[in-house]
Structures are given as structure tokens and as C-alpha cells.
């Protein structure tokens, strides 16, 4: 337990246990960087600091005694006077490493410590007194510091806090010549993934990650390997002062408990329920003899005090009593251990001969609605993913297939969902079992997420997973940023070894689907390629020059891929104005519908106003090519929509006739609205009568009629642009 009296920027720290054992003490000034050293205590018993359990009642003088020299003069008075303009100040912080001196194991000693702190506060009421303690140790003390003490819980570390920790950690643990590189590596690993970012908000878990990195050179790239090392470190967290828990005893019970919590869809469990689960684990697995080393009550206490994997998070009322509530320190540990339980067979209801695939198949079919789309229920989603990552190579293919494919018996007589409907609007609520007609999309998403962890599966199965994922692309996917679970999944797979296979599946969908649905997989392809270009390309300019050169000789697939990549880069504000790129894209406007769509889409984003001075305005000859493409009777609707955006931005009066002709064509409302908005921006009188007729047309969609009304108002107030 730590506490200080006096200004917080001048703090004396005393490790009571190390001091008791005869080692010299260092007194440090927080923020000042200067130190004074207290010599080791004299051997006579009168001057030695007693263990916490045998401290005399007035124990503060015993510690104060060590802060004076042989003549009774304070040894740190001179440094304080030199560093503190206001003169000497009473400053104390006592740090008790309670595991070493036994304070947290002896209840009455902790109670005496609490009482002594309260008395200090009453004697020095105006002096700041800060007391810090592990939550477990403070709770076990059995009483709270009162009155006058405000209780706070330390917030999670911020990104800056983590970076500062990494720099200080490496300054202490790394050689000078490697310190800078090691710091950069640790910071990159800490912020490299959302799950690790969430874990490291806790100081103990951040230190755990640093210890893993220190032990094996860098944090494991596979999450399942990282979590395995984290659990291993935490099981040995206090091995210097306590006997570590036997993994053969701890892991099966932790896995059993984690699986039960995921099955119940919760993160907290009452103490009585937890103990009953531990008893049940012993009954279900009598052949695991290590489970008998401690009673459930003893094991729970050791687990909380020595590992930090499981913590008491509060109390709840049950049968009229206040019962402690426990949870895993971080949800990630619960999910990892639940996934491991499926692999190891350590869960309630396990039967001999039941394969991992048979256990997983019904869990992947538990589907609910999350943010407007169907998804595998949250309590199993990550656990199943980690299960696949931890699977034996001989089983992983069967397990991944069980996640992807619905059991045949549950699909009999059921119509399939729309392959391009990304929303599950008709779903009444969470489904506890498979057979729901909307399970194809969530199963494909989860299977692809599992694939992103790079298990050892065949290319044939990986292709099946990614083709099914592409088939589930809907109208809410591929908008350029992450809006749906499928968007997020595509970006994860795009960073894996299966990126090329994913690109091919999305490009096939773009080239084969109808115009109205094509742009969704096209947008996803651009997002995936954007991630890959960011990770692979050092110099974007050189990359674009190479892509422009390839446009002249490439086939349909490659050209469409280049155009969609340029489209996404331009949409994200990158300057794509490289020699040869515009001529190459304009050349594609003479090709088939999908290729024209991709080229026009890229040209429209390069012409967007967001680029400011880097905007690409078409030259006169290029304007003619754009109008010629828009004149085509078979002009793709989505391509025409993108061309209309260029006409709008450039206020191209020469495009009015083409727009009026196409406005009478059979184009979807989104394209018609884009043409109407372009006519309004151009402000040509020739468009007034057609726009007025469109506004009055009751059969026209409302959004198009409103666009016509706005265009008429705008053109009435804007001079015609020749």
C-alpha cells in the first residue's frame, strides 16, 4: 500500500520489506530526478524495522527513525531545502510490498494499517494523503478508510500513457544501442491491433505484454499465441513471492468456467455459482488429478491473489445476501479460454467421441441482429474464432467448414436469403439455434474472420469461404469506410495471406453482377486494395506510374482492378494525377459496362473538390471523350452517374443535351438524381422545361422530384455557364 503526506511532487518512497532485510534505501523526488540514500539499518533489534505482522502500535516513529542520522538529524533536509523554494516540507510515502511482508495475508495487521492511516490524517488534516492499493488487497482488508478519504479507481491508460511506459520500459531493459528500435517495436506492437490496444489499457496487462515482448523478442503476430503467452505470464505473475499455480490445475478449470460464461452469454458470475462450476468440473473430469490439489474455495482465492486472471468486480443481492461477483480481468481472456475449452474438450456437456467441429457447428448458428445486420451472437463470435486458430492442423479444415456451412437438416424446405441483401430487417430477434434463413451472411463473415487468422487450411476451402463472403455483399457494404461487419472482415482478410484470393472473388462479383449491385463489391475491392497498397508500397507516385503503364496493355480484369484501386485512393484524398493515368482511364470508357463503370468512377473521384489545388480538371479533348462516353445508348447507369458528377463539378454546358437525352432513359433513381443535380449546377435554360416536367411527374420517385425542384431554384439564381 502506498501513501504520501505533503506536496505530491516531493515524495519519499520506502520499500519496507527491502529495508527490513538490511538493504540501503533510495529516496526519490517525483519529477525532480534527484535522490538521497538511506544506509542499511543497524543490526541491533531496536533499530530494525519489524515485519508488518509484529509492528508496535506506534509504528510511524519506527520508520521515521530510519530517516535520521546517528545524531538524530534528518538526512534529507538539505536536499529538500535546496530543491523546494518554500523550505522543508513534511513528505512521506510508505510502500509496502504486501506479498513479501505478509500484510495482505494477515487481516488484523491490515486493519491496524488502516487505523494508523486514519490517525495520521487526523493529526495532519491539511496535508495531502494519497493511499494506493491493489483492489484485491484493499477489499480483503475488511474496512474502508474513513472519514475524509475520497475513493477513486484509476482509469485505463491512454495512448500517450502507453507510449510513455514503452519508452521507460525500454530505457530500463534494453541496451543503449538498441533502445530506440526496441521502443518503436514495442509501441507498434501495443497499438497494432484493437484487441491488444484494449488489453493494454490495464497497467498490469500492459506490463504483461512488455514481459512477453522482452521474453521472446517481439509480441506474437497470431493473437492466439499472444494470449497463450499472456495467460502463462499471469499464472506466474507472483512466482517470486508465492508458489505459482500449476497450469495443469488452473487451465482446465479456467477453460470450463470461461465456456460456461460464454454459453450463458454473460461476463460476471456470483461466487456461489462459480464455486459450483468448479465442483462440477472436478466431477466431470475425475481423471484430471491436478484438479484435486486445492478445494474450490482455496483455488478461487489463489487464482485471484496470485494471477490476476479472475477478479472480484463487485457484489450483488441474492437470497437477501450480498454475494461477491467475479469476472475475468479482460473479456479477451474469457473468450480465449472458452475457445481453448472447445479444443481441449474441457466444458460442460462434453461427450467422448464428439469432435470439435460437431461442438462448434450449432454455436456458429446462434445468430442475432447487431447494428441492423445479422451476426453470430457476440458471446461466441470471438471464442469460435480463437478456437479455430488454436485447433490442431488435422482438425482445423473440418472445424472451419462447420462454421461456414449450415447443417443440412436445418435448411430443409427453407428459401435462401437474397445474396445481395446485407441487412436482416425481417429478423424477429436473436436465434438460439441454427435454421434461421439469415445465417449464411453471419456464417460467411465469421468463417472469413477465422481465415484472417491464417489457420492451416487448403486453398480450396479458403476459396469457398471467400466466394461465399463475396456472395453476401449487400447494399450497405463497400462505402469506403467500415460500416458493416462484412466491411471490417474484408479489411482483416486483406492483410492476410489470402488477400489475393479475396481480391479475385470481389473482382469477379464486380464484373459479373448487374449495374445496380455492382458498385458494392467494387467498393470493397477498392478498400481491400487500399489496405494492401498502404502496407506494400513505399512510394505512391512510382506505384501509380507503374499502374498507368500497365493500363495500356492489360486485360479486362486487371484494368478494372487498377481503376477501382485508383478510385479508392482518390476517394481517400490521395493525389493520383500521374502521367498516363488519365489517358489510360479514358481509353477504358470505350469498353464493356463494368470497365466503363470502374473508369468513370475513378475519374469522378480524381475530379472531386476535396482535392483542392490537386483536383484534376479535364482538358478540352478529355471533355469530349467524357461526353462521347455519356452519349452511348448502352452507357452503364453507374458510369453515367459518375460522369454526371464530373459534369456537375465542371459545370459543362456542352453536356446538357446528353444529360437531357439520358434523363428520358431507363436509369435508376440514383443516376437520374445525379443528372438532375448536374443540370441544376450548370444552369442552362434548355433544362428548365424538362426539369419542371420532372418535378410535376407524380410517377417519379420523390428524391428525384425534390432534386428537380432544387435544381430549378439554383438555375434560376445562377447565370448560365457557357
Q: Is the model's pLDDT at 649 over the cut of 50?
A: yes
Can you tell me which residue has the cell 439469415? 438
**Cell numbers of 701, please?**
420517385
- pLDDT tens for each residue of 560-610: 999 999 999 999 999 998 888 999 999 999 999 999 999 999 999 999 988
Give the CA dihedral 647, 649, 654, 656, nearest 10 degrees: 60
Q: Return the SS3 of 374.
A: strand
CA triple 398-404-405, angle to 5 deg: 85
Do 141 and 114 contact (CB within 8 A), yes or no?
A: yes
Highest mean pLDDT among 206-210, 416-420, 560-564: 560-564
Percent of the chain with pLDDT over 70: 77
Cα Rg, the chain, nearest whole Å: 34
Reading the block at residue 72, the C-alpha cell is 538524530
d(CA 558, CA 73): 84
- Quickly state the pLDDT bin for 133 (edges 50, 70, 90): confident
The three cell numbers of residue 214 are 522482452
Give the list of residues 6+ apart from residue 590 with CB closer than 8 angstroms, or none: 596, 629
**Alpha-carbon dihedral angle through residues 508, 510, 513, 517, given to the nearest 10 degrees:** 150
**Measuring CA to CA, which residue among 183, 184, 227 is closest to residue 209?**
227
Edge-first strand order for the sheet with 310-318 is 268-270, 321-328, 310-318
* Residue 136 pLDDT > 60: no
Q: DSSP letter at 2?
A: E
Q: How many CB atoms lie within 10 A of CB 534?
A: 13
Q: pLDDT above 90 covers what percent of the chain?
A: 54
Q: Tell me the average pLDDT across 210-214.
A: 85
pLDDT tens readout for residues 266-298: 999 999 999 999 999 999 999 999 999 999 999
pLDDT in tens, 657-666: 999 999 998 8
Amino acid 141: pLDDT: 63
Q: Quote the pLDDT of residue 552.
A: 85
Give the whole-angstrom CA distance, residue 514 versus residue 511. 8
Q: At what angle do helices 688-696 and 669-682 cross, to 10 degrees?
A: 140
Task: Find the distance separating the first CA and the last CA of the chain, reported in whole Å.
Answer: 80
What confidence category does residue 126 fall into, taking pLDDT thresholds of 50, 70 and 90?
confident
Query: What confidence tens digit (pLDDT) does each residue in 466-497 have?
Result: 999 999 999 999 999 999 999 999 999 999 99
Contact 446, 385 (CB under 8 A): yes
Question: Between 637-650 and 620-631, two packed helices, what is the crossing angle to 10 degrees?
Answer: 150
Residue 26 has pLDDT above 70, yes or no: no
DSSP state, residue 68: B
- The residue ranking higher by pLDDT, 84 or 118, is 118
Which among 607, 531, 590, 602 is positioned nearest to 561, based on CA atoms?
Answer: 602
**What's the mean pLDDT when you consider all of the chain?**
80
Give the tens place of pLDDT for each residue, 335-345: 999 999 999 99
Q: What are 150-194's pLDDT values in tens digits?
A: 887 777 888 899 999 999 999 988 888 889 998 998 898 888 777
Q: What is the pLDDT of residue 173?
A: 87
* 139 SS3 class: helix
Q: Is the pLDDT of residue 30 over 50?
A: no
What band does 106 get if pLDDT is binned at 50, 70 and 90? very low
Cis peptide before 493 (omega within 30 of 0): no
Nearest-10 Cα torsion for 646, 649, 650, 654: 60
Whether the per-residue pLDDT at 513 is higher than 90: the answer is yes
- In the numeric block, which cell numbers belong to residue 345? 474438450
Span of 433-442, 488-497, 704-713 with lowest mean pLDDT: 433-442
Which pLDDT does position 407 carry in this prediction? 75
Q: Once rounded to an integer, what is the mean pLDDT over residues 501-515?
A: 97
Q: Locate the DSSP E strands across 633-722.
A: none
- List the one residue out of 623, 648, 636 whose CA is nearest residue 707: 648
Residue 9 has pLDDT above 60, yes or no: no
**610: Cβ contacts below 8 Å, ≥ 6 apart:** 573
- pLDDT of res. 140: 57
Higher pLDDT, 197 or 30: 197
Is the CB of residue 308 less than 8 Å from the CB of residue 234? yes
pLDDT at 98: 32
| Higher-confidence position of 318 and 40 | 318
Helix (H, G, I), strand (E, B) or coil at 598: helix
Report the pLDDT averaged over residues 57-85.
Answer: 43
HSE at residue 530, side-chain half, CA atoms within 13 A, is 24
Tell me: pLDDT of 77 over 80.
no
CA dihedral 276, 280, 282, 288 (to 10 degrees): -140
Compute the distance between CA of residue 455 and CA of residue 571 in angstroms, rounded to an integer: 34
| Lowest mean pLDDT, pick from 238-242, 469-473, 496-500, 694-698 | 238-242
Closest CA to 401 of 430, 433, 358: 358
Task: Count the neighbouring beta carbons within 10 Å of the beta carbon of residue 279.
Answer: 12
Q: Which of 156, 272, 274 is closest to 206 using CA atoms?
A: 156
Amino acid at each position: 500500500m502506498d501513501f504520501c503526506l505533503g506536496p505530491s511532487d516531493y515524495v519519499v518512497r520506502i520499500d519496507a520489506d527491502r529495508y527490513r532485510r538490511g538493504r540501503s534505501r533510495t529516496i526519490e523526488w517525483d519529477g525532480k530526478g534527484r535522490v538521497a540514500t538511506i544506509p542499511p539499518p543497524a543490526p541491533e533489534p531496536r533499530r530494525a524495522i519489524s515485519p508488518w505482522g509484529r509492528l508496535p502500535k506506534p509504528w510511524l516513529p519506527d520508520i521515521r527513525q530510519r530517516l535520521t542520522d546517528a545524531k538524530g538529524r534528518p538526512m534529507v533536509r538539505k536536499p529538500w531545502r535546496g530543491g523546494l523554494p518554500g523550505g522543508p516540507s513534511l513528505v512521506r510515502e510508505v510502500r509496502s510490498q504486501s506479498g513479501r511482508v505478509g500484510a495482505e495475508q494477515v487481516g488484523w495487521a491490515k486493519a491496524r494499517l488502516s487505523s494508523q492511516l486514519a490517525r495520521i490524517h487526523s493529526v495532519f488534516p491539511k496535508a495531502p494523503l494519497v493511499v494506493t492499493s491493489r483492489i484485491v488487497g484493499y477489499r480483503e482488508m475488511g474496512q474502508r478508510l474513513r472519514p475524509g478519504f475520497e475513493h477513486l479507481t484509476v482509469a485505463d491508460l491512454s495512448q500517450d500513457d502507453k507510449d510513455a511506459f514503452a519508452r521507460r520500459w525500454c530505457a530500463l531493459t534494453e541496451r543503449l544501442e538498441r533502445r530506440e528500435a526496441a521502443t518503436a517495436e514495442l509501441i507498434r506492437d501495443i497499438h497494432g491491433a484493437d484487441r491488444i490496444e484494449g488489453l493494454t489499457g490495464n497497467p498490469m496487462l500492459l506490463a504483461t505484454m512488455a514481459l512477453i515482448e522482452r521474453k521472446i523478442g517481439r509480441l506474437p503476430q497470431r493473437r492466439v499465441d499472444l494470449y497463450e503467452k499472456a495467460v502463462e505470464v499471469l499464472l506466474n505473475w507472483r512466482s517470486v513471492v508465492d508458489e505459482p499455480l500449476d497450469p495443469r490445475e488452473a487451465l482446465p478449470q479456467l477453460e470450463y468456467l470461461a465456456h460456461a460464461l460464454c454459453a450463458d452469454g454473460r461476463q460476471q458470475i456470483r461466487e456461489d455459482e462459480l464455486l459450483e462450476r468448479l465442483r462440477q468440473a472436478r466431477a466431470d473430469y475425475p481423471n484430471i488429478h491436478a484438479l484435486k490439489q486445492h478445494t474450490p474455495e482455496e483455488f478461487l482465492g489463489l487464482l485471484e491473489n496470485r494471477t490476476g486472471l479472475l477478479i472480484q468486480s463487485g457484489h450483488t443481492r441474492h437470497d437477501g445476501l450480498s454475494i461477491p461477483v467475479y469476472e475475468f480481468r479482460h473479456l479477451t481472456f474469457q473468450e480465449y479460454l472458452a475457445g481453448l475449452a472447445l479444443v481441449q474438450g474441457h466444458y460442460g456437456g462434453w461427450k467422448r467421441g464428439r469432435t470439435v467441429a460437431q461442438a462448434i457447428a450449432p454455436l456458429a448458428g446462434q445468430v442475432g441482429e447487431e447494428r441492423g445486420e445479422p451476426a453470430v451472437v457476440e458471446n461466441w463470435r470471438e471464442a469460435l474464432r480463437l478456437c479455430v486458430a488454436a485447433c490442431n492442423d488435422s482438425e482445423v479444415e473440418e472445424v472451419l467448414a462447420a462454421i461456414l456451412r449450415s447443417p443440412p437438416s436445418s435448411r430443409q424446405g427453407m428459401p435462401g436469403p437474397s445474396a445481395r441483401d446485407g441487412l436482416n430487417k425481417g429478423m424477429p430477434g436473436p436465434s438460439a439455434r441454427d435454421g434461421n434463413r439469415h445465417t449464411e451472411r453471419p456464417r460467411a463473415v465469421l468463417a472469413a474472420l477465422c481465415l484472417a487468422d491464417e489457420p492451416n487450411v487448403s486453398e480450396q476451402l479458403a476459396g469457398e469461404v471467400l466466394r461465399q463472403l463475396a456472395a453476401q455483399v449487400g447494399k450497405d457494404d463497400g462505402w469506403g469506410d467500415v460500416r458493416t461487419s462484412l466491411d471490417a472482415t474484408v479489411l482483416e482478410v486483406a492483410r492476410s495471406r489470402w488477400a489475393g484470393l479475396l481480391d479475385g472473388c470481389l473482382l469477379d462479383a464486380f464484373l459479373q453482377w448487374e449495374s445496380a449491385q455492382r458498385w458494392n463489391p467494387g467498393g470493397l475491392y477498392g478498400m481491400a486494395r487500399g489496405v494492401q497498397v498502404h502496407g506494400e508500397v513505399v512510394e505512391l507516385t512510382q506505384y501509380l506510374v507503374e499502374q498507368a503503364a500497365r493500363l495500356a496493355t492489360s486485360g479486362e480484369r486487371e484494368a478494372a482492378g487498377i481503376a477501382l484501386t485508383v478510385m479508392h485512393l482518390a476517394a481517400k484524398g490521395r493525389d493520383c494525377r500521374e502521367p498516363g493515368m488519365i489517358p489510360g482511364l479514358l481509353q477504358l470508357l470505350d469498353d464493356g459496362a463494368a470497365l466503363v463503370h470502374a473508369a468513370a468512377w475513378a475519374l469522378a473521384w480524381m475530379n472531386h473538390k476535396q482535392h483542392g489545388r490537386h483536383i484534376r480538371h479535364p482538358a478540352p479533348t478529355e471533355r469530349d471523350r467524357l461526353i462521347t462516353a455519356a452519349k452511348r445508348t448502352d452507357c452503364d447507369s453507374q458510369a453515367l452517374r459518375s460522369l454526371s458528377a464530373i459534369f456537375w463539378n465542371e459545370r459543362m454546358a456542352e453536356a446538357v443535351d446528353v444529360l437531357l437525352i439520358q434523363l428520358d432513359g431507363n436509369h435508376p433513381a440514383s443516376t437520374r438524381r445525379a443528372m438532375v443535380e448536374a443540370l441544376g449546377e450548370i444552369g442552362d435554360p434548355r433544362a428548365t422545361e424538362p426539369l419542371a416536367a420532372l418535378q410535376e411527374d407524380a410517377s417519379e420517385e420523390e428524391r428525384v422530384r425534390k432534386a428537380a425542384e432544387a435544381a430549378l431554384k439554383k438555375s434560376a439564381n445562377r447565370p448560365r455557364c457557357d
